[in-house]
């Protein structure tokens, strides 16, 4: 059964920032990479990190290890046997790799959607996030963390904490405009999508394997035009899927967010005093 944990990284003013990792970095203790990515204007705000157990890293490591072993075997076969046999071996290895990655992506996507539902219907309806406390949150999702955010927006209701802003960094979720227009309606402020055409993992691996018949993911293209959605092309700063968390992105977030800028967003909220419910099942 899925289990997610909302960990308090630091106390501070509200809206509280909630960061959500993706496939290669979920379920680990360090948030140092996020520390360099969040803008300085958020430094005085409470920060929570959502840890969700996609249990994907070991499975991905096994797939990549099998690919490496298979590649070595294919190279050896290419030198020793006739071309048609070697070609068949290459195609077979590619097919097995694609099948393994497809199973992995689909499994993690199911976990991400379930985690987003639990975030909206469980954690964000409890103190100190409950609307009765007039608490607001800012959701920041990277990679498949963007799928968690999308699911949370799909399931956000009247009991869910006020979602002040959303920031998507290389989101691994379909960029269907009609769906995102509906999701943006659950955000009281703006939904910001940051995409890079240089994210080869999303463009050439995740999209062709997991969703070949759908639109490319939000991490490589715009979501709009739509009210409540702002798209930003950061291809000049992000050259790959593992290059999203960096200080250059902190500058881009600072350019767009209204949180932390009193003149734009009004006075910050005082921190709620209730004990936070940190685990959902």
pLDDT tens digits, 62-83: 555 555 555 555 556 555 555 5
Residue 238 CB contacts under 8 Å (≥ 6 apart), including other chains: 170, 194, 196, 198, 199, 244, 246, 248, 249
| Closest alpha carbon to 144 in 172, 103, 106, 180 | 172
Supply the DSSP symbol for 198. Answer: T
**5: helix, strand or coil:** strand
Residues 6+ apart with CB under 8 A from 257: 39, 41, 42, 138, 165, 167, 192
Q: Which of 62, 2, 63, 53 is nearest to 28 (CA)?
A: 53
- Above 70 in pLDDT, residue 8? yes
pLDDT band at 273 (very low <50, low <70, confident <90, very high): low
Give the pTM.
0.80
Residues in the chain: 281
Mean pLDDT, residues 42-57: 81
Confidence bin at 268 (pLDDT 50/70/90) = low
**What does each C-alpha distance from 206 to 173, 199, 219 come to in angstroms?**
10, 10, 11
Alpha carbon distance 9, 25 (integer Å): 17
87-91, 107-111, 174-178, 217-221 — which one is most confidently predicted on average?
217-221
- 224 close to 181: Cβ distance less than 8 angstroms: no
CA distances from 59 to 52, 172, 213 (A): 16, 18, 25
pLDDT recorded at residue 233: 96
CATH among 3.40.50.300, 3.40.50.1820, 3.40.190.10, 3.20.20.370 for 4-55+111-280? 3.40.50.1820
| Dihedral sign computed on CA atoms, order 179, 209, 30, 195 | negative
Q: In the numeric block, which tokens belong to residue 264?
A: 């734009």
């Amino acid at each position: 059964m899925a289990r997610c944990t909302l960990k308090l990284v630091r106390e501070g003013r509200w809206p509280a920032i909630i960061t959500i990792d993706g496939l290669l970095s979920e379920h680990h203790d360090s948030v140092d990479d996020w520390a360099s990515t969040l803008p300085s204007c958020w430094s005085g705000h409470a920060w929570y990190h959502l840890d969700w157990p996609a249990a994907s890293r070991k499975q991905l490591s096994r797939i990549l290890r099998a690919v490496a072993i298979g590649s070595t075997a294919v190279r050896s076969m290419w030198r020793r046997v006739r071309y048609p046999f070697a070609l068949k071996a290459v195609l077979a290895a590619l097919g097995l790799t694609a099948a393994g990655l497809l199973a992995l992506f689909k499994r993690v996507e199911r976990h991400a959607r379930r985690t987003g539902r639990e975030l909206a219907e469980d954690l964000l309806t409890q103190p100190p996030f409950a609307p009765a406390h007039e608490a607001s949150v800012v959701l920041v999702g990277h990679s498949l963390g963007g799928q968690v955010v999308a699911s949370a927006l799909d399931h956000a209701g009247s009991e869910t904490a006020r979602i002040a802003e959303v920031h998507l960094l290389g989101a691994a979720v379909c960029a269907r405009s009609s769906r995102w227009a509906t999701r943006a309606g659950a955000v009281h402020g703006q939904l910001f999508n940051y995409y890079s055409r240089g994210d080869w993992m999303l463009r050439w691996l995740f999209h062709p394997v997991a969703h070949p018949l759908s639109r490319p993911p939000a991490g490589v293209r715009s979501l709009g035009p739509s009210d409540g959605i702002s798209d930003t092309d950061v291809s000049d700063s992000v050259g790959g899927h593992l290059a999203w968390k960096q200080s250059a992105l902190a500058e881009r977030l600072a350019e767009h967010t209204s949180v932390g800028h009193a003149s734009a967003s009004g006075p910050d909220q005082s921190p709620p005093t209730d004990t936070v419910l940190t685990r959902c099942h």
